[in-house]
Amino acid sequence: MHTVSGGEVAGILVAVFWAILVSFLAVALARLAQTLRATTKLVADVTDQAVPLLADASAAVRSAQTQIERVDAIASDVQEVTSNASALSTTVASTFGGPLVKVAAFGYGVRRAVSGRKEDAPARAPRRTVIVGRTVPGARREKRTRGKKG
């Protein structure tokens, strides 16, 4: 029989420790490899799905840019039409405004002159006015209306 010395026990303990350490490292590396494979597959799947999505997004952005350019062109046309309408209304107002005011003033003067001649014409028979069930002679009515005007 062989007796085990203290140095041999220490060597066996070191060997067992290293064996356990290597086993843990092997398990950790195996799990790390599995995680890396899963990550690689996930990145490949995301890439396969992202590329068409990016292409669609790029097409959408190009379409939006085209629509923005169209709206910009329409807005500039509307602004031009607005300025033309403003210029036209200013021109019409300056061209016809003065003469129309003069025609209106002339018409007012003619009406006033014609109505003044009617007052000089012979008076018609006075009309009677009924106020709350009683008749007021024409002479009294004229006094009342003249009093209200003055």
> Does 102 fall in a domain?
yes
Helix (H) or strand (E) holding 11: helix 6-120
- Tracing tokens 């010395």 back to the chain, one arrives at 5
Query: Is residue 136 helix, strand or coil?
Result: strand
What total number of domains does the chain contain? Answer: 1
What pLDDT is recorded for position 116?
73
- Can you give the residue range of the structural domain that contains 57? 11-115
> Does 142 fall in a domain?
no
122 sits in the region (left: phi over 0; alpha: psi -120 to 50; else beta) called: beta
Has this prediction a pTM greater than 0.95? Answer: no
> Does 5 fall in a domain?
no
Helix (H) or strand (E) holding 116: helix 6-120
> Does 50 fall in a domain?
yes
Residues 77-136 pLDDT 10s: 999 999 999 988 888 887 877 777 788 888 888 888 888 765 555 555 556 565 665 555
Q: Are 135 and 129 in contact (CB under 8 A)?
A: yes
> Does 122 fall in a domain?
no
Q: Residue 13: is its pLDDT beyond 50? A: yes
